[in-house]
Amino acid sequence: MNSFGVVFRVTLFGESHGPAIGVIIDGCPPGLALKSDDFLPDLKRRQSGSIGTTKRQEPDLPEILSGVFDGVTTGAPVALITRNSDKISSDYDEFKNVPRPGHADFVSRIKHSGFADMRGSGHFSGRITWGLVAAGVMAKKIAATVDVSAKLISAGGSDDIEKAINEAIASNDTIGGIIECRVKNPPLAIGEPFFYSFESAVSHVIFSIPAIKGIEFGSGFAAAAMKGSEHNDPFINSYGKTATNNAGGINGGITNGNEIIFRIVVKPTSSTGVDQTTFNFKEREMTTLKVKGRHDTCIALRMPVIVEAAAAIAMADLILIDRGIHGQRIV
Ligand SMILES: Cc1cc2nc3c(=O)[nH]c(=O)nc-3n(C[C@H](O)[C@H](O)[C@H](O)COP(=O)(O)O)c2cc1C
């Protein structure tokens, strides 16, 4: 469904070519300083414009509709929208009957009985992550002492990101990438096992972002080939600081106070200019599709700030839950 969070509850709505997209944040503590300009730096980082991103240009300016008065949150739900303006809906007409392999066209046709708004990929568009990034700005204010930072570390399997992007553009194809997220100075002992462990809360938001196919914490998949004596992180002081960080800052689903580190896999954009085999549901025959229109060559280029928002949202919710359950900790 379209909401995440137990206390800090984020609801996303809208379609890519509808009048607007937006987010409602319920459970935001009152008295948090908040103005429209606060959203601009992170929203700008999500925008297209650089080489390898879509030519669609949206102002993405936020409009605060509720929950803020005299520059502070009131405790009522905060509703934010941005208007969609740069739309070429005809680019998507074909996909209703001829689904793009790898995209949501086929599954949404079945699930929504053909009623889904297909314009600009509708509610399946990466554009819906605007609201996630906006909620992330507020979450970062709640987790104020924490420094969340994500970056693209490889694209198309290469460290030379610029070269990989240029090669993909030249071949009319698309590529994926790996984003690494680091959370410095994390709050100690947040995470609610079993089902709301730190990893499960973060992964829940992360896998809600379109085009993400994998996540690993700390040494991740490499742990399978390590010995216990290598993988364990030796303690070096009474605060729980460890000499190594194979756990990625989490034990037992609870943050251990060391830096939180995770990496995610972004798949190559499914809308590719290379011929793909698909089925024409109207003509009832196999066909070949070469996707035209405006698409990101590499979605991962726009993903770091979205990943930061996902981490911050999960963390803000877990911090507020922890405060509610444990109050002020005595040890
Ligand atoms: C910021 C962002 C931008 C995206 N841009 C595109 C795009 O231009 N073309 C495309 O085919 N998919 C794009 N996607 C991915 C699709 O939304 C996604 O692949 C699709 O909804 C299917 O979901 P899945 O990949 O999770 O299976 C984008 C995703 C994000 C997060």
In angstroms, the CA 237 to CA 97 distance is 62
Distance from the alpha carbon of residue 299 to the mean position of ligand 1, in angstroms? 7
Centroid of ligand 1 to alpha carbon of 208 (angstroms): 11
Q: Which domains does the chain have, with CATH numbers?
A: 3-326 (3.60.150.10)
pLDDT value for 331: 54
- Contacts from 68-74 at CB under 8 Å and sequence distance 24+? 68/34, 68/35, 71/33, 71/34, 71/35, 72/30, 72/31, 72/32, 72/33, 72/34, 73/28, 73/29, 73/30, 73/31, 73/32, 73/34, 73/138, 74/30
Q: Across-strand partners of 255? A: 250
Q: Are the CB atoms for 207 and 267 separated by under 8 Å? A: no
Atom index in ligand 1 nearest the CA of residue 104 equals 22
Contact 309, 177 (CB under 8 A): no
Q: How wide is the angle at C-alpha 195 spanned by C-alphas 194 and 196, nearest 5°?
A: 100
Q: Atom 27 of ligand 1 has which residue's CA nearest to it?
A: 211
Confidence at residue 326, expressed as pLDDT on a 0 to 100 scale: 78
What was the pLDDT predicted at 277?
97
Cα 125 to middle of ligand 1, angstroms: 6
DSSP character string of 240-291: --BS--TTTTEETTEE-SSPEEEEEEEPPPS--SS-EEEEETTTTEEEEE--
Residue nearest to atom 2 of ligand 1 (CA): 126
Nearest atom in ligand 1 to the alpha carbon of residue 302 is: 1
Q: What is the pLDDT of residue 327?
A: 78
Residues enclosing ligand 1, CB less than 6 A? 54, 103-104, 121, 124-126, 129, 209-211, 267, 269-271, 295-296, 299, 302
| Alpha carbon of 304 to ligand 1 centroid (Å) | 15
Mean pLDDT by 10 residues, the chain (331 residues): 97 96 97 97 95 93 98 97 93 92 95 93 96 98 96 98 97 97 96 97 98 98 98 97 98 98 98 96 96 94 98 97 80 54
